Chain A
Amino acid sequence: ETGVTQSPTHLIKTRGQQVTLRCSSQSGHNTVSWYQQALGQGPQFIFQYYREEENGRGNFPPRFSGLQFPNYSSELNVNALELDDSALYLCASSAPGQGSNTEAFFGQGTRLTVV
């Protein structure tokens, strides 16, 4: 059983550019969530995708968008990058069961630096 994998592991972009981060969910998991983790902070929820539809969104502007594909892999897109977007971006996959009990498993993250 493969775990959650993210690519790339590190990325440097210039302010104003656009970036796409990728995530492959754990085998058997149909739900993917994305989190932003600033240095010294806990992860902050960006949004979640379930069966290719956005299923919940945190307090992030519309320039943060996502996709989920039929194989449950996912992309996070960020447009018009700002310096404050520099962070570790984490993808988590889960397989919701009865009552939404779910254990989320995280990938190793993508470290994005905006200069």
Chain B
Amino acid sequence: GQQLNQSPQSMFIQEGEDVSMNCTSSSIFNTWLWYKQDPGEGPVLLIALYKAGELTSNGRLTAQFGITRKDSFLNISASIPSDVGIYFCAGQDYNQGGKLIFGQGTELSVKP
């Protein structure tokens, strides 16, 4: 079945530093989504990508849909304490309807 490998599993950074995380897939996706989840809460959508090669920004966040359609990355610039949380990538294959396949998550810790 489809699998997503998300890395790194965790990151400990200093406030103000930039962050990069990525996901790779064993198969092609039509859509890539990036979510952030705080403890005890549901995932919150950050960025959605619909085209191979697409580069999209949302404030300090930038994400790209890989050309091969098998990977995506998320960058966070100038991190702040409220960026702390778990970031998930998710891929969607139109042939499987609305089903999202999630990565294992990247836990981000930001030291003030």
Contact = CB atoms under 8 A, between A and B. Distances in A.
Contacts of B43: 43, 90, 106
Interface residues of A, number: 33
Contacts of A2: none
A109 B42 contact: yes
Contacts of A96: 98
B13 interface: no
A109 B41 contact: yes
Contacts of B88: 42-43
A40 B35 CA distance: 15
By size class, the interface of chain B is 20 to 34
25 contacts: A4-B42, A6-B42, A33-B98, A33-B100, A40-B105, A41-B104, A41-B105, A42-B105, A43-B100, A44-B102, A45-B101, A50-B98, A55-B98, A59-B1, A90-B43, A100-B97, A101-B30, A104-B33, A104-B98, A105-B45, A106-B35, A107-B42, A109-B41, A109-B42, A111-B40
Interface of A: 4, 6, 31, 33, 35, 40-45, 48, 50, 55-56, 58-59, 90, 92, 94, 96, 99-109, 111
